[in-house]
Chains A and B, each alone.
Chain A
Amino acid sequence: MLENFNDLLYMDGNGLFVWFCMAFVILVLSLNILYAIKKKRKLIKLIRSS
C-alpha cells in the first residue's frame, strides 16, 4: 500500500511510466466516447435539416 502522496506520484521512480499509461487510457477511452457524442449531434442536425 502506498503511504503518502509522494509515494503515489513517484512510485519508486516508476511514476512517469505508470501515470503516462493511466493518462493514455483515459485519453483514448474519452476520445471514443466524445467522438460518438459529436457524431450523434451531427446526425441530429442532418436529420432536422433534411
Chain B
Amino acid sequence: MIRVWNVTKRWFIEMGSPPLFYRWSSKITSWLGILAIIFLSVGLFWGLLIAPTDYKQGDVYRILYVHVPSAILGQSIFMFMAACGLINVVWRAKISGMMLKSAAPIGMSFTLIALVTGSVWGKPTWGTWWVWDARLTSTLILLFIYAALIGLYSSIEDKTKADRAVSILSIVGLAIIPVIKKSVDWWQTLHQPSTFTLTSSPSMSPEMYQPLLLCVIGFYLIFAFALTLNLRNEVIDRERSKNWVKQIFVN
C-alpha cells in the first residue's frame, strides 16, 4: 500500500514537470482519441438504433444519449478545474494552471451542448424551448461562469497572475455545482430528477441505461483527449523559449 502511494505520488510530481508531461502524453493522446470514438460510436449506435422506444416520450427521449453525458461533463469539468485551481493556489504547480486554462473551453462546450440539446428536447416534451426553471437557469449560470473564466484569463497578460485569478474564481464558482445538482429537489421544476445518482439504482430499464453508460464513458474520453491536446499546446506555448521545446520542433 505504501509502495503504491509512493509510486503514485512520484508520478504526480513528475507530471508536474512540463517536459515530462509532454513526453508522457504523446504516448496516450491517440489512444484516448481512438477509445473515445469506439465508446461513442457503440453507445450512440446502441442508443439510437437498438434501445427500445420510451412508452411516454417516444423516440425523442434518444436525445438523452447526448444531453445527459454533456450535462454530467459540464459539471465534472468544473469540479476538475476547481481542484486544479486549489492545487495552483496551494502548491503553485505550473501544470495545474495550464490544465485549468485548457479545460475551460471544453467544459464550456459541454455545458453549451447540454443547454442546446435540453432546449431541443424541451420543445416536443414540454411544449417550449426554454423556461426560467431552476435547473436550466443554474446551468446557464454555469455557462456564464465558464465564459467569465475564459474572459478573465485573456484579460491578464502575466500568465502566472492569470492562473492565480482564474484558480480563485474557479474555487469560488464551485458553489454553483451543488445548486445545479440539487435544483430538482430544492425547487419545483419542469426538469425530471437526475438520471444518474450515486445513492440509488437507475430509474431506467437496463436496455436504455447501458448505452447511456457507454456514452458517458465516451464523453469522458473525448474530454481527456481534447484536454491532452489543449494542454500539450499550452505547454509548448509557455515553454517555447526553452531548449527542450526547440530540440523537439527545430531539430
Interface 9-residue window, one of B82-90, B118-126, B158-166, B198-206 = B118-126
A1-B49 Cα distance, complex, nearest whole Å? 6
Segment 11-34 of A: residues with Cβ below 8 Å from B: 11-12, 14-15, 17-18, 20-22, 24-25, 28-29, 31-33
Instruction: For chain B, give the interface size range.
Output: 35 or more
A29-B70 Cα distance, complex, nearest whole Å? 11
A24 and B246 form a contact (CB under 8 A)? no
Segment 46-77 of B: residues with Cβ below 8 Å from A: 48-53, 58-60, 62-63, 66-67, 70
Segment 197-251 of B: residues with Cβ below 8 Å from A: 222, 225-226, 229-230, 232-233, 236-237, 240, 245-246, 249-250
Chain B residues with a Cβ under 8 A of chain A: 33, 44, 48-53, 58-60, 62-63, 66-67, 70, 105-106, 109, 112-113, 116-117, 120-121, 123-124, 222, 225-226, 229-230, 232-233, 236-237, 240, 245-246, 249-250
Chain A residues with a Cβ under 8 A of chain B: 1-2, 8, 11-12, 14-15, 17-18, 20-22, 24-25, 28-29, 31-33, 36-37, 39-40, 43-44, 46-48, 50
